[in-house]
């Protein structure tokens, strides 16, 4: 390993700022004209390439603009933008001036955005006038306008122009391109401690509001760059195509920080897997010469339904590694990805990790290139990761061929350090369930051979198309509906989305409402409060929910009903009102 590549914390007297320039300056010194970003815009064939020199310039101008606008070291800037070079430059500009960024996925509603801005106490928001996705224009600035109405901390909104359409600007709004062009292309990076905050990223938990996980400077960068290089077998000159959104941790770690720290060329995908047709990914692979493709099982499952031709129409000989992330990949999807997309010659790396872990923790690679990869298995812990499986008593399961709660037994560089403003929630969520271990919230199986397979969440978190959704968060919204007394949201297996959402609703006494009308109302509320992906697929009105005598909703029972496993309801003797279960079963919708 090259010495100069390790983030060096040089301290006050060390080589000036050397370690903070890892993603840009040092590559500009050695290869300024290398392409850093390929912005794969919505319309195929209209990609824009940005070199390291250009990205450093954009970042410096933006850094200077942020400083001129009063952003200081330690502040937190919220970024609400689709994948585009200015979004990356905004993240890096924050890092450069010592501010934290808080990127919010641009599919979140204004209320969800407002929650995150308020919790982060941002005075500055960066957005675009409009987004463009799947041929449609999305009014992102309008969403920001609605959000900031309820965010007293916000003093200014920087607006970049993704489309040529003008949008209403207020006194608070700053035209981003116009103002940044007035700035100098040199912006000295600020010296930060290795444990200072790099960014916040909100994610759903099983209780309460989404939590702002905090990642720090040196450990995060080291971990993302190492995993990017070794899990995907990334080499200088490769084109890395991660098709996630920058609003998720996958985008932070494997579109922005990992690849850029490694001096790589990284793709920013603005479109959808089916625009303008289901061949989009593979046409893009051919056109851009992508070497590593990193995507989500939900998209693979969707595409395989359209047939092999959409893949075979394009030349995929550039591909070397195929990655999967976000949810378990079923064998059928894995096989198709391997056989059809990769022509049977590219290793498929199913990578398990979380917002909390910062980077990949379990994956088939690195390992001997000839080492076996079992379909649908994340397989091997990354260097420095010590997984442990624990049983319900909190005992470590030391033998192979066992299943338990997936924990990690020692710290690693990329792990989140806290939840913004809620350190107690951090320790309670991750360190109290199994004292001495970091608890991931997932269950896992360790095979006879010692390989890991992720089973799924053990807590009340649903994974919809790779997006995390807390049942409590959803129920909170549903319960705000005037006719609703209480509700329970349950995940069920869905052949494209991985999990779908099924909501049981108890109406207030004397409320009469058509189920269709109620369903429509609830869907609107959920997309307004959270995001479209969180909308329930099924809503069932019930007289009461099965509860224990102490008043806890028996989710286990509801889950069985939804999965139509009513023969295996288990012990119902602790139920307060056993009849409630039969009623729930008889009213249960057939899932398609």
Q: How many helices and strands in the chain, by DSSP H and E?
A: 18, 28
**Region of 102-110, 188-196, 267-275, 346-354 interacting with ligand WT7 (CB under 6 A):** 346-354
Question: Among residues 327, 336, 325, which one has the least CA distance to residue 250?
Answer: 325
# chain residues binding ligand WT7, by CB under 6 A: 22
- Work out which of 160, 454, 526, 531 binds ligand WT7, going by CB under 6 A: 454
Selected binder of ligand WT7 within 441, 470, 500, 546 (CB under 6 A) = 441
Going by their DSSP bridges, the two strands 321-325 and 362-363 should be labelled as unpaired
Tokens standing for 114? 């407002």
Task: Please provide the size of the chain in residues.
Answer: 592
Beta-carbon contacts of residue 515 (< 8 Å; ≥ 6 apart): 539, 541
Sheet holding 265-269, edge to edge: 48-51, 35-40, 265-269, 239-242, 292-295, 321-325, 348-351
- The Cα–Cα gap between 297 and 251 comes to 16
C-beta closer to ligand WT7: residue 86 or 198:
198
CB of 482 to ligand WT7, least distance (A): 32
Residue 322 CB, nearest distance to ligand WT7 (Å)? Answer: 13
Closest contact distance (angstroms) between CB of 361 and ligand WT7 is 9
Contacting ligand WT7 within 239-268 (CB under 6 A): 248-250
Q: Which is nearer to ligand WT7, 279 or 500 (CB)?
A: 500
Residue nearer to ligand WT7 on the CB measure, 227 or 487: 227
Contact 500, 538 (CB under 8 A): yes
Q: Let me know: does 351 contact 362? Beta carbons within 8 Å.
A: yes
Please tell me whether residue 299 binds ligand WT7 under the rule CB under 6 A: no
Q: Give least dist CB 206 to ligand WT7, A.
A: 11
CB of 408 to ligand WT7, least distance (A): 12
Given CA atoms 402, 403, 405, 411 in this order, what sign does their dihedral have? positive
Window 321-340: residues binding ligand WT7 (CB under 6 A): 325-328
Does 442 sit near ligand WT7 (CB under 6 A)?
A: yes
User: Which of 120/519 has CB closer to ligand WT7?
Assistant: 120
At closest approach, how far in Å is the CB of 354 from ligand WT7? 4
Cα separation, 54 vs 279, whole angstroms = 31
CB of 23: closest distance to ligand WT7 in angstroms?
20
Strand-pair partners of 352? 362
Cα separation, 19 vs 12, in Å, equals: 12
Quick one: 156 or 203, whose CB is closer to ligand WT7?
Answer: 203
Q: How far is the CB of 456 from ligand WT7 (least distance, A)?
A: 6
Give Cβ neighbours of residue 310 (< 8 Å, ≥ 6 apart).
277, 278, 279, 282, 303
Do residues 53 and 32 touch, judged by C-beta distance below 8 A? Answer: yes
- Footprint of ligand WT7 on residues 63-122 (CB under 6 A)? none
What letters, b where the CB count within 10 A reaches 16 and e where it falls short, cover 124-153?
bbbbbbbbbbeeeebebbebbbebbeebee
Q: Which two tokens stand for residue 44?
A: 């195929």
Encoded one letter per residue, x for contact with ligand WT7 by CB under 6 A and - for no contact, window 118-157 reads ----------------------------------------
When binding is defined by CB under 6 A, the residue of 353, 437, 438, 452 that contacts ligand WT7 is 353
Is 203 a binding residue for ligand WT7 by CB under 6 A? The answer is: yes
Q: At which residue do the structure tokens 């709660």 appear?
A: 405
Q: Does 378 bind ligand WT7 (CB under 6 A)?
A: yes
When asked if residue 415 is in the footprint of ligand WT7 (CB under 6 A), the reply is no
Residue 115 to residue 530: CA distance in whole angstroms: 10
Judged by beta carbon, residue 328 or residue 470, the one nearer ligand WT7 is 328
Output 337 or 352, the one with its CB closest to ligand WT7.
352
Q: Choose, by CB under 6 A, the member of 351, 465, 471, 487 that binds ligand WT7.
A: 351
Q: Mask: binding to ligand WT7, 160-199, rule CB under 6 A, as x and -?
A: ----------------------------------------
When binding is defined by CB under 6 A, the residue of 40, 350, 460, 473 that contacts ligand WT7 is: 350
Residue nearest to ligand WT7 (CB): 355
Separation of alpha carbons 447 and 445, rounded Å: 6
CB of 248 to ligand WT7, least distance (A): 6
Closest CA to 545 of 584, 573, 512, 511: 584
- Note the residues at the interface with ligand WT7 (CB under 6 A): 203, 248-250, 325-328, 350-355, 378, 440-442, 454, 457, 463, 468
């Amino acid at each position: 390993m090259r010495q100069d590549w390790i983030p060096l914390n040089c301290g006050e007297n060390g080589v000036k700022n050397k370690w903070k320039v890892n993603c840009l300056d040092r590559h500009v010194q050695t290869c300024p004209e290398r392409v850093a970003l390929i912005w794969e815009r919505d319309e195929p064939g209209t990609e824009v390439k940005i070199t390291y020199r250009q990205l450093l310039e954009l970042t410096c101008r933006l850094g200077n603009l942020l400083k001129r606008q009063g952003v200081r070291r330690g502040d937190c800037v919220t970024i609400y933008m689709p994948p585009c070079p200015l979004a990356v430059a905004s993240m890096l500009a924050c890092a450069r001036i010592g501010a934290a960024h808080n990127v919010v996925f641009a599919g979140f509603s204004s209320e969800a955005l407002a929650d995150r801005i308020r919790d982060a106490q941002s005075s500055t928001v960066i957005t675009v006038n409009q987004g463009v996705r799947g041929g449609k224009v999305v009014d992102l600035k309008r969403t920001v306008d609605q959000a900031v109405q309820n965010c007293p901390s916000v003093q200014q909104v920087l607006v970049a122009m993704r489309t040529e359409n003008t949008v209403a600007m207020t006194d608070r709004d700053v035209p981003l391109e116009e103002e940044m062009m007035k700035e100098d292309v040199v912006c000295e990076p600020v010296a930060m401690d290795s444990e200072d905050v790099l960014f916040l990223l909100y994610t759903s938990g099983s209780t309460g509001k989404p939590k702002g996980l905090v990642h720090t400077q040196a450990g995060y960068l080291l971990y993302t760059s190492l995993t990017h290089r070794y899990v995907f077998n990334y080499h200088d000159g490769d084109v890395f195509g991660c098709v996630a959104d920058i609003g998720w941790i996958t985008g932070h770690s494997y579109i922005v920080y990992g690849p850029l720290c490694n001096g790589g060329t990284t793709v920013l995908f603005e479109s959808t897997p089916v625009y303008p047709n289901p061949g989009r990914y593979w046409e893009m692979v051919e056109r851009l010469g992508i070497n590593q493709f990193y995507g989500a099982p939900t998209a693979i499952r969707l595409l395989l339904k359209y047939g092999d031709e959409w893949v075979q129409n394009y030349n995929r000989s550039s591909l070397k590694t195929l990655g999967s992330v976000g949810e378990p990949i079923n064998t059928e999807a894995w096989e198709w990805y391997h056989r059809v997309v990769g022509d049977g010659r590219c290793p498929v790396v199913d990578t398990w990790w979380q917002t909390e872990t910062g980077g990949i923790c379990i994956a088939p690679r690195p390992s001997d290139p000839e080492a076996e990869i079992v379909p649908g298995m994340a397989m091997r812990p990354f260097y420095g990761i010590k997984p442990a499986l624990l049983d319900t008593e909190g005992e470590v399961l030391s033998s192979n061929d066992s299943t338990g709660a997936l924990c990690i037994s020692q710290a690693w560089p990329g792990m989140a350090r806290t939840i913004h403003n809620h350190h107690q929630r951090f320790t309670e969520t991750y360190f109290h369930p199994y004292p001495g271990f970091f608890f991931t919230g997932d269950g896992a199986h360790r095979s006879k051979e010692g390989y890991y397979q992720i089973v799924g969440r053990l807590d009340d978190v649903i994974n919809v198309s790779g997006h995390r959704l807390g049942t409590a968060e959803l129920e909170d919204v549903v319960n705000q509906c005037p006719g609703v007394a209480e509700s329970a949201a349950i995940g069920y297996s869905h052949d494209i989305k991985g999990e779908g959402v099924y909501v049981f609703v108890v109406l207030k006494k004397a409320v009469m409402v058509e189920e269709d009308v109620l369903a429509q109302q609830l869907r609107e509320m959920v997309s307004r409060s959270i995001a479209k992906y969180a909308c329930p697929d099924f809503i069932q009105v019930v007289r009461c929910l099965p509860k224990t005598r102490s008043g806890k909703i028996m989710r286990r029972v509801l889950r069985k009903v939804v999965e139509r496993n009513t023969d295996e309801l288990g012990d119902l003797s602790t139920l307060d009102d056993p009849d409630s279960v039969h009623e729930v079963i008889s009213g249960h919708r057939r899932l398609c």
